Structure 1
């Protein structure tokens, strides 16, 4: 129950944005999308890393057919995951719900149910792991 409250709080926090930038970008309109991790934040003030300073490098390939691929490189080791996704729009809030079929060790989530939530705001994907003391993860779309 605590996990659900944390996740809902996360969405409420980020849905209170008065910008209408969500309309500028239509997810998956151009085909397969590559989203790369560009920033990690911690729970301490000014605990932000970017680029090669991050603990790992990773990206998602989000496919219009409802599948995704995730790859993480950490300490020279590459780990991969696959699964399915659904795109959910509630008002101006847009997010991907990923369901992992393989590579469950890459799930960055508080849910513990094989799923991960990525919230889309201002053309940036935000992970929800920081809602339960995981790192804040920010992804940017790569052309």
Structure 2
């Protein structure tokens, strides 16, 4: 009887692991389209804003041809930047390495160059790496 119980536990473990892998795979294959900024967080405790209270509104549109467009609306001014991206997969994490065509004030990174890096977190939100160097924490949701 104990052997049957052990076998059932092993089978259930394998099934549950498989379903987690499938959900991550579907999130990865469904990244094309528009991602809208839903939360800005700062380095201080409880320094988070969402919705219309955010300092700016922003989105990325990822196209199937490997191009993207980033749009930010702040103080009734719309700023747009575009470029190309590649997908990077590391240790069960999917990231997007973006290269903008030209310098823009809406490029959020630590290096001051034309690149940005975004990754899909465990909640299937797109997360900017800018916070790693004291920039704001930016989370985007697929629209």
- TM-score by structure 1 length? 0.79
Instruction: Give the structure with the higher percent helix.
Output: 2
Give the corresponding residue for 2:4.
none
* SS at 2:105 equivalent: helix
Superposition misfits of 4+ residues, deviation over 4 angstroms: none
- The runs of 5 or more residues in structure 1 that have no matched partner are 1-18
* SS at 2:72 equivalent: strand
Give the corresponding residue for 1:93.
93
- Rg (Cα) greater in structure: 2
- The runs of 5 or more residues in structure 2 that have no matched partner are 1-19
| Count of residue pairs brought into register by the alignment | 122
- TM-score by structure 2 length? 0.79
Aligned Cα RMSD in Å? 1.6
**Residue 29 of structure 2, aligned match among 27, 40, 60:** 27
Give the corresponding residue for 1:109.
109
Alpha carbons of 1:124 and 1:92: their partners in 2 closer, same or farther (altered >3 Å)?
A: same
Does residue 71 (structure 1) correspond to residue 57 (structure 2)? The answer is no
For residues 14-66 of structure 1, give each alpha carbon's deviation from its aligned partner in whole angstroms, at most 9, with x where no partner exists. xxxxx65522313347xx41000000000000000000000000000001101
Higher RCO (CA 8 Å, separation ≥ 6 residues): 1
